[in-house]
Amino acid sequence: MNAGEKLTPQIREIGHFIGGKHVAGNSGRFGEIFNPTLGVQTGKVALATKAETEQAIADSMAAYPEWSNTSPLTRARVMFRFKELIERNMDELAVLVSSEHGKVLSDAKGSIQRGLEVVEFACGIPHLLKGEYSDSISQGMDVYSMRQSLGVCAGITPFNFPAMVPMWMFPMAIACGNTFVLKPSEKDPSCPMRLAELMIEAGAPPGVLNVLNGDKESVDTLLTDPRVQAVSFVGSTPIARHVFATASLNGKRVQSMGGAKNHMVVMPDADIDSAAEALMGAAYGSAGERCMAISVAVPVSEKTGNELIEAMAPRVRALKIGSSTDNASEMGPLVTRVHRDKVKSYVDLGVKEGASLVVDGREFRQADNPNGFFLGGCLFDNVGRNMQIYKEEIFGPVLSVVRAKNFEEALSLPNEHEYGNGVAIFTRNGDVARNFANKVQCGMVGINVPIPVPLSFHTFGGWKNSMFGDMNQHGPEGVRFYTRVKTVTARWREGVAPKADFGMPLSR
């Protein structure tokens, strides 16, 4: 082997995880798995048929009666053990994420930690499932409510967070007494498969969590099968709309998270260096492949815009771009060659539309990995609100600067955009910050916080075309989504039975 030459990785074949064990796919169809740093195929994943999907649902159905009748305390103990196993295997899980998605190890570990926080929240399920009680609402009559599980639930998750987003879904669903069929992205399925193994090791019975790899055929089966009671989805807006419409039409409860175009307003009184550092991580972390990435910076006033560009340009040029498993890397490759080329085409489009390309990362090549799916950081200035690069989600390391003359113009940008996932403002003025938080039309707001992802005991969800459905993910709304309320009115009365009353029942 010549110096510098790298061995081609062996192609692994991944099937499904059904009934507590790995099973091979039988469709004969496969999706390709790549190492984005090397730019080579490392595996292939079976794509399930309708029949295989139905079998996974049947397996979850079979596990549901016993699991739903297991005490909340027992389910919590499973979650405690699952939490310990994730912590013990954190390094292994992070490598799986980095080697198949391309995010750097520090980012991979951080994303797993954010998923783990939902597991920690789910450990409190005995308290979270407590209902309400009203005694003596009438003579000898009490009313109480209880939260009960739904049945089989399904989760369809994206490539950009193969650990975190699944853990936003199945731990809460399972802790509430449901069973779960997870359909992860076919681009990076290894970490979800490992999480399923750890759930079994933690004590969850076989079938409580099934992992089914697939594409549209398996997704549409999950959306239409009457045995599936609820569907959680995270992905692009067109698919989110399809998931919501199809699953709702088939009588399911749905939370469907779509795309985003997140703005960060920088007021004239903001510390420019602090804002620039915040933007670097928020715009270029995970190569911009985050639904909460800041992809639009809105400096207020010409002076602020000039100062921000002056601060950002050298930082973007100095990005340490390299192997996703190199601890020195700040940004790794994009997930696939196809996606890298799509992002690059948006940069081409921005130049054609007349935006000023201050930093051009299109020709970046990573010396040690020339075939990797790398793209350098790109920075646009003078982007107009009618440009396609402003309107559409690019999902890559591309930051657009849209200048605003004043606060009102800056506020109008996120308010008039079709997406309403997250937004941030950097300012030293509390009155401005409070006014912005009250008036901005987005689901999650950061004040001097660039990526305002709520912690697990609050809920995650956007507005407008960023979210379809009525209930957000994790936190208290996660418990409400994966359960339904039953209200019991009970009377225990001594003596003679009351006479028939044909009027509206009233409290007496």
Catalytically active residues, by annotation: 291
Cα distance from N-terminal residue to C-terminal residue, the chain: 90
Q: What are phi and psi of 44, to 5 degrees?
A: -140, 145
- Spatial neighbors of 468 by CB under 8 A, at least 6 apart, are 240, 241, 243, 244, 254, 256, 257, 258
Q: Residues 6 or more apart from 126 whose CB is under 8 A from it?
A: 72, 73, 76
Q: Assess contact for 13 and 43: CB atoms under 8 A.
A: yes
Distance (Å, whole) CA 254 – CA 39? 36
Neighbours of 215 (CB within 10 A): 16
Neighbouring C-alpha atoms within 13 Å toward the C-beta of 360? 11
Q: Determine the residue type at 135.
A: D
3-state secondary structure of 169: helix
* Pairing of β 21-23 and β 16-18: antiparallel
Alpha-carbon radius of gyration of the chain: 25
Query: Regarding beta strands 152-156 and 228-234, do their DSSP bridges make them parallel or antiparallel, or are they unpaired?
Result: parallel
